[in-house]
């Protein structure tokens, strides 16, 4: 069993770490406060190849493996969780299905611009009444001759307010439930009847836009069907599996930031004449954080390795997402405790990490759903 990273993997990890430390981390608090979309940072991430890491070079990507993607996601998310999720959505939720299921024409037209970092992509699945149960979705696409006529509202869509393109799940055959779901590639700037609705006010990841996508008799060209009619649910499952590796990596990055800041503070903060890092109560918190985060990292890398080697990884991706997000949230709670009153104040990044960590237990499949996925594999 070889735990040594390749030179290429170490290179992208180091590049992402240095970029995060120099270009993102100093701006993270201000981005959180202003809720501003980090356009300049996204442009630079695109120039560095971080928006299409696993996509082949001929389609604008970096042509690297999923382990490299996970390593880069961890480093970017450690600097700023909002920037991390923007990157994750482009790589996992948009690029993957277009590359995997798209035609050559679709790849050239809709994949290259996102994988090369020129524009952003998003993925539209969730609705007010359909999240964990996609068969309940009410966004309908009806045959309109040379177009699909789309009506419905997608909710909680990351990048939805800033993306140029989206892969949107729609019902093309409502009576068939799951088997009636299809996927459409939508060019938001050139789709009559499409508009961005409410942009949510959130607890955390504030520099990442979370928006409604409104389709009111929107006209989407017939050739924008991704794969075949009725294949959307299968496409969705494979897309979300990869997405969970991305969110697990985001969560781990947040947890790593928590641990680093808790260690640094505990070495400086003095009580009873010595640093609190010398107190067993604090040492145990740090030891638990480090152990749990390392365990989560091993699960993430295992899931990424399985995907790289074309092996089944649904269970491992669910385990990685569940564990990484749970331990990141636990680390954030303990990190605030280590800093005491300062951990509760916005002058320190710890309270932001706690707010950012929470969403990782919810999106791209709640951790309750992750447990169902894992249990299904164990009992089938």
Task: Decide if 364 is catalytic.
Answer: yes
Phi, psi values for residue 12, rounded to 5°: -70, -35
Nearest Cα residue to 140 out of 182, 194, 195, 178: 182
For residue 271, the cross-strand partners are 274
pLDDT tens digits, 277-317: 999 999 999 999 999 999 999 999 999 999 999 999 999 99
Proportion of the chain above pLDDT 90, given as a percent: 96
Cα–Cα distance measured from residue 32 to residue 207, given in angstroms and rounded to the nearest whole number = 6
Q: Which of 307, 316, 351, 364 is catalytic?
A: 364
Residue 380 has pLDDT above 90, yes or no: no
User: How does DSSP assign 170-219, residue by residue?
Assistant: EES-GGGGGGGEEEEEEEGGG-TTEEEEEEPP-SS-TTS-EEEEEEEEEE
Phi, psi values for residue 172, rounded to 5°: -100, -15
Residue 174 has pLDDT above 90, yes or no: no
Pairing of strands 121-124, 165-171: parallel
pLDDT tens digits, 151-162: 999 999 999 999
Proportion of the chain above pLDDT 70, given as a percent: 100
Six-digit token pair at 26? 């100093």
170-176: which pairs have CB atoms within 8 A and are 24 or more residues apart? 170/137, 170/139, 170/140, 170/141, 170/232, 171/137, 171/138, 171/139, 171/140, 171/141, 172/140, 172/141, 172/143, 172/148, 172/229, 172/230, 172/232, 173/229, 173/230, 174/140, 176/230
pLDDT tens digits, 180-205: 999 999 999 999 999 999 999 999 99
pLDDT tens digits, 338-370: 999 999 999 999 999 999 999 999 999 999 999
**Residues, the chain, total?**
380
Lowest average pLDDT, out of 131-145, 262-276, 287-301, goes to: 131-145
Q: Which domains does the chain have, with CATH numbers?
A: 7-119 (1.10.540.10), 122-230 (2.40.110.10), 233-379 (1.20.140.10)
Q: Give how far the C-alpha of residue 177 lies from the chain's centroid of Cα atoms, to the nearest Å.
A: 27
pLDDT tens digits, 244-262: 999 999 999 999 999 999 9
């Amino acid at each position: 069993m070889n735990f040594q990273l390749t030179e290429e993997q170490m290179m992208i990890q180091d590049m992402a770490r240095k970029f995060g430390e120099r270009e993102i981390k100093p701006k993270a608090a201000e981005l959180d406060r202003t809720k501003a979309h980090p356009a300049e940072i996204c442009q630079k991430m695109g120039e560095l190849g971080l928006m299409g890491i696993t996509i082949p070079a001929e389609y604008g990507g970096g042509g690297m493996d999923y382990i490299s993607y996970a390593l880069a996601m961890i480093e970017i998310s450690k600097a700023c969780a909002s920037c991390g999720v923007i990157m994750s959505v482009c790589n996992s939720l948009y690029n993957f299905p277009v590359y995997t299921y798209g035609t050559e024409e679709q790849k050239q037209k809709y994949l290259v611009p996102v994988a090369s970092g020129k524009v952003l992509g998003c993925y539209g699945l969730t609705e007010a009444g359909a999240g964990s149960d996609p068969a309940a979705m009410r966004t309908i696409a009806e045959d309109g001759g040379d177009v699909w006529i789309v009506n419905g509202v997608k909710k909680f869509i990351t990048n939805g307010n800033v993306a140029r393109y989206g892969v949107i799940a729609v019902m093309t055959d409502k009576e068939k439930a799951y088997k009636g779901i299809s996927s459409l590639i939508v060019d938001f700037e050139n789709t009559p009847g499409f508009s961005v609705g409410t942009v949510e006010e959130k607890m955390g990841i504030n520099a990442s836009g979370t928006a409604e996508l409104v389709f009111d008799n929107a006209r989407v060209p017939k050739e924008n069907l991704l794969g075949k009619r009725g294949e959307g649910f299968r496409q969705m499952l494979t897309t979300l599996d990869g997405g969970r590796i991305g969110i697990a990596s985001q969560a781990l990055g947040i947890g790593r930031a928590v641990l680093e800041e808790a260690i640094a503070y505990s070495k400086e903060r003095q009580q009873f004449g010595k640093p609190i890092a010398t107190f067993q109560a604090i040492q145990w918190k740090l030891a638990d954080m480090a152990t749990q985060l390392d365990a989560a990292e091993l699960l993430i890398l295992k899931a990424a390795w399985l995907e790289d080697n074309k092996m089944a990884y649904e269970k491992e991706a669910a385990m990685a997402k569940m564990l990484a997000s749970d331990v990141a949230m636990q680390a954030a709670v303990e990190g605030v405790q280590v800093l005491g009153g300062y951990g509760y104040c916005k002058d320190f990044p710890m309270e932001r990490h706690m707010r950012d960590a929470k969403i990782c237990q919810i999106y791209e499949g709640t951790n309750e759903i992750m447990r169902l996925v894992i249990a299904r594999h164990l009992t089938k």
